[in-house]
Amino acid sequence: MSTVFTKAMKKDYTILIPNMSPVHFKIAKEVFANHGYNVVLLENQGPNVIREGLRYVHNDICYPAQLVIGQLIDALKHGNFDTNKVALVITQTGGGCRASNYIFLLRKALEKCHLEHIPVISLNLKGLEKNPGFKLTFFMLLQAYSAFIYGDLLMALSNQVRPYEVNKGEADALVATWTRYLSDRFANNRGYIGWAMKRNLNEICRQFAAIEVRKEEKIKVGIVGEIYMKYSPLGNNNLQAYLEQQGCEVMVPSMMGFLYYGADNAITDKAYYGGRRISSIVTQLILKQLFKVETMVREAMAKTGKFTVPIPYTEMKKLTEGLIDYGVKMGEGWLLTAEMLDLVHAGYTNIVCTQPFGCLPNHISAKGMIRAVTERAPEANIVPIDYDPSATHVNQENRIKLMLSIARENLDSEKNGK
């Protein structure tokens, strides 16, 4: 029997949150804090994390599960937390992916560590598990949504500025400044809807556009893949930092695209399998409102005239027509194919496809679709990279370097052809 997180625990328990995306999660964690929860976003990395993951999770289980559970267990063992006053939180999707089962794997790992008294909170939107001391309220969801909107914008702008900045560190410093400012705004229930959000979005874009940059051409590389591997430096061996060291500009698709995709799947389910029509209608109405904010973000970026503006989710979805069915939706499903085509159309023709070794949805809708993508977009230069505990950094980097050597040849050909 698992320990339940009670109302009494909320007052003096610390909740540990595994870190998937540093930019997004640093803002999102403030949502918990602003609603009375003591939270810590984990920053521990290194070999200890995967060592603990492999010790308590079977090596046949997907790599993200090993990393997430390993990071939590490592923090409990070496993070100076009072294990009698700590709780863990983990997302539970409820879908067909093994991510739905991470919570049970985590509890099993805690039992092996003799820490089964530690409560594990399921963060889900489907009522899969309930804890009296933790409830997702409407305002928490609204603030979390806003946190990901801001996180996507800060990630996109800093990625487009960082490789070219004259004064190194300005882009990252601006991300930190806005993270602090937005956290303070959220704490006072400000800045996450309406005109206040629009003002913030415009000001963020204006400040990033004001950073002094060099005019030079760099290799443009996009990163796609399984959601944890795509965003987590722990999962992809600091892939973005490595690419930037190689002289590249990196584009990572928005996290909101994945959330839109998740909601959109409810509409697909109704069309394909029947079910309650009201769920499909409500989802469509919610998406319609969310897309208004998406438009607001795109307009703020376009206004500066200095940034590559992402196309709307609905247009990205159309890119896969005739290639892959919308019913392919386990894990990242058809979205992976759409993101690859979207990156190519945005000028990021060189793509690293990150996937956990043995992740069938990714092998089918990402690696398995590379040929179809390159037939439709011949300029695409895609390399799939598998990540698991036995994969060596050297092998991964060598494959990426081969992709980059082709990218440099293509860039030189473009320059000479002008």
Domain spans of the chain, in order of start: 9-134, 217-253+310-418
Residue 417 pLDDT exceeds 80: no
Residue 1 pLDDT exceeds 70: no
Mean pLDDT, the chain, integer: 91
The structure's pTM equals 0.93
The pLDDT confidence band at residue 418, using thresholds 50, 70 and 90, is low
Task: Let me know: does 70 contact 52? Beta carbons within 8 Å.
Answer: yes
Which pLDDT value is given to residue 96? 67
The amino acid present at 261, given as its one-letter code, is: Y
The SS3 of residue 131 is strand
Quote the DSSP letter at residue 258: H
The amino acid present at 58, given as its one-letter code, is: H
Say whether 217-253+310-418 and 9-134 share the same fold. Answer: yes
Q: Which of 231, 264, 265 lies closest to 152 in space, CA to CA?
A: 231
pLDDT digits (tens, 9 = 90+) for 234-259: 999 999 999 999 999 999 999 999 99
> DSSP per residue over 22-56, as a string?
HHHHHHHHHHHHHTT-EEEE----SHHHHHHHHHH
Q: What CATH number labels 9-134? A: 3.40.50
> DSSP per residue over 183-215, as a string?
HHHHHTT-SSSHHHHHHHHHHHHHHHHTS-B--
Q: What CATH number labels 217-253+310-418? A: 3.40.50
